[in-house]
Amino acid sequence: MKKQLALYILLLLTATATYAQEQDTKKLSFRDRMEHRIIAGFNFGGTTPVPLPNTIRKIEGYWPAFAPTLGYEATYYFQPKWGVSAGVSLELKGMSVKDSVLYFPTIMNVTEGGQTGYFEGTFTGHNKTKIRNTYITIPVAAVFKPNNNWRFRMGGYMAWLLNGHFDGDVSDGYIRNGGPTGEKIIVDQATFDFADDLRRFDMGLQGGAERRVGKHLSVQANLSWGLRSIFPSDFKGMDFPMYNIYVMLGVNYRI
């Protein structure tokens, strides 16, 4: 499914490019067809299940992380209004969230001296999760530039995790050993850390718009929507997939 989507994006890009090429009648040099930009901004958003499962009862607090992004992007125009872009950026995606959960299933694998055990249970209480993930991201997109002031982009991205943090604590609640009919164990506070379970590769859709505000400078907003859960499917710390969904607000400078 996800592979198909990626393929679809690629086809779309190629189709656009080919179409654009056919439309192209002017003879511009390669240099004239290229644009280079340095991008800087901040990511706001969440790493979240879509939709929220019914075991999450209330979002009690949400704090975007200090999540800067810095990148470079090159655009090649096949004709004045259409082009393709690719880039590379170093970005942080993160947030902190506090929520209350009810009968929330979790399985924690425990490996000790080559032996693997696990703890399985359902938790009711409060949860605080802090996510700080640093990625090297390669975005590719089709670019539409209706005039000199606006630019729109639609495409996909691939991202490699450089450094991941996914930890937090549960408090003021109870966990049931094995599931809803297991014995109830009161939890006043316990910590968890799932950083080692994070997937190293993320990919998804991304697109955005930018408005020129100076000779070289533009402001931009860009949504990236992960299509691959940040945890592998055999990870059962949470019984749902979680996706990176972030909006980057920032500026770019055309070199």
Partner 1 sequence: MKLKKLSILACFIPLLHACIKDTPLNPEADITSFTIDSADATSEVFIDQANSRILLYLTNDAYEAGITPEITITEGATISPASGQKIDFSSGAITYVVTSQSKAYQKSYTIEVVSTGDWKFDFEDWAENERDKYQYPVEEDGSILWSSGNPGTALAGLPKRNDAYPLRATTDAKFGSQAAELLTIKGTALSSLLGIKLFAGSLFLGVFDSQNALIEPLKATKFGQPLTKGRPASFSGYYKYTPGAVYQDKQGNAIPGKTDECSIYAILYTGSERLDATNIKTSDRIIARAIVADGTAKEAYTRFEIPFVYEKAIQPNESLMVAIVASSSKDGDAYIGAIGSRLVVDSLQINMKETK
> Which residues of this chain interact with partner 1, rule CB under 8 A?
44-46, 48, 50-59, 62, 102-103, 108-113, 115-119, 122, 150, 152, 176-188, 190-192, 207-209, 211, 221, 223, 225, 245, 247
Q: Of 11 and 185, which CB lies nearer to partner 1 in the complex structure?
A: 185
DSSP letter string over 178-216?
TSTTSPEEEEEEEEEE-GGG--SEEEEEEEEEEEE-SSS
Q: Of 17 and 107, which CB lies nearer to partner 1 in the complex structure?
A: 107
Token output for 187: 């939890």
Q: What are residue 188's phi and psi, to 5 degrees?
A: -90, -40
Q: 160-187: b or e for each residue (b if 16 or more CB lie within 10 Å)? A: ebeebbbebebeebbbbeeeeeeeeeeb
Q: Is 1 exposed, middle or buried (0-12, 13-18, 19+ CB in 10 A)?
A: exposed
Residues forming beta bridges with residue 110, ordered by sequence position: 117
Q: Shortest approach of partner 1 to residue 81 CB, angstroms?
A: 14
Which candidate, 155, 154, 191, 153, places its Cα nearest to that of 170? Answer: 191
CA angle 155, 159, 164 (to 5 degrees): 145
Q: Shortest approach of partner 1 to residue 222 CB, angstroms?
A: 8
Q: Of 66 and 150, which CB lies nearer to partner 1 in the complex structure?
A: 150
Q: Of 59 and 162, which CB lies nearer to partner 1 in the complex structure?
A: 59
Q: Shortest approach of partner 1 to residue 14 CB, angstroms?
A: 24
- Report the C-alpha gap between 135 and 201 in whole angstroms: 9
Kindly provide the residue ranges of all beta strands, DSSP E only, lying in the chain, ordered along the sequence: 34-48, 56-64, 68-79, 82-112, 115-144, 150-177, 184-193, 201-212, 217-226, 243-254
Q: Shortest approach of partner 1 to residue 137 CB, angstroms?
A: 18
Q: Of 2 and 211, which CB lies nearer to partner 1 in the complex structure?
A: 211
Q: Of 184 and 216, which CB lies nearer to partner 1 in the complex structure?
A: 184
Q: Of 131 and 187, which CB lies nearer to partner 1 in the complex structure?
A: 187
Q: Shortest approach of partner 1 to residue 97 CB, angstroms?
A: 9
Radius of gyration of the chain (CA): 22
Q: Shortest approach of partner 1 to residue 242 CB, angstroms?
A: 12
Q: Shortest approach of partner 1 to residue 182 CB, angstroms?
A: 7
